[in-house]
Amino acid sequence: MGQLDHVKDKVVKMLAGGEPQTSIAGQVGVNQSTVSRFANEEEAIKTIEEEKLKLVEVLPDAVANVKLLVEGMKDVPEDDVKKLGLCYKASTDVLKATNVFPSPQYGYNIYNDNSQTNTVISPAFQVFLDFQASNGEKMVEDSDSINQSS
């Protein structure tokens, strides 16, 4: 395997993990435009989607961690900041990598096509919603509808 193939593989894995392109470029020593070019190759797109679907499997655990953290926040000693910080970071990293956590660089789970009235949900996020629905959990309240009528 050549040097370029090794760099490309590393870039694709980092993209699949949710790393921003500019961060990846700095870490592997290439221009952001090179990372972008790698990201837009058909094989890379397929690999990134496959890796994201693997991350969907751990979403319930990440959601549970965040839920426990938030619910138990009042009971955690303030001096245990390191433990809370590590737990929160691990959970949010999974949520960001699967585009569930709101973030400008990861905010393409749900978008509106302005030429139509359809709302599109990414396949990875749809798998998560289906999983939650199969467990009887309602992720979106009727009042949270994206396309509310005035």
Give the tens place of pLDDT for each residue, 111-140: 444 555 556 677 777 777 787 778 776 655
Residue 68 pLDDT grade (very low, low, confident, very high; cuts 50, 70, 90): confident
Residue 124 or 97, more confident: 124
| Residues, the chain | 150
Helix (H, G, I), strand (E, B) or coil at 111: strand
Specify the fold of 1-51.
Arc Repressor Mutant, subunit A (1.10.10)
Report the distance separating Cα 133 and Cα 20, nearest Å.
30
The ranges of the chain annotated as CATH 1.10.10 are 1-51
Q: Is the dihedral of CA 23, 92, 94, 105 positive or negative?
A: negative
Tokens matching residue 91:
């959970």
**Percent of the chain topping pLDDT 70:** 66
Do residues 52 and 16 make contact, with C-beta atoms less than 8 angstroms apart?
A: yes
Predicted confidence at residue 84, as pLDDT, reads 74
- Distance in angstroms (rounded) separating the CA atoms of residues 85 and 27: 24
Residue 80: predicted pLDDT: 84
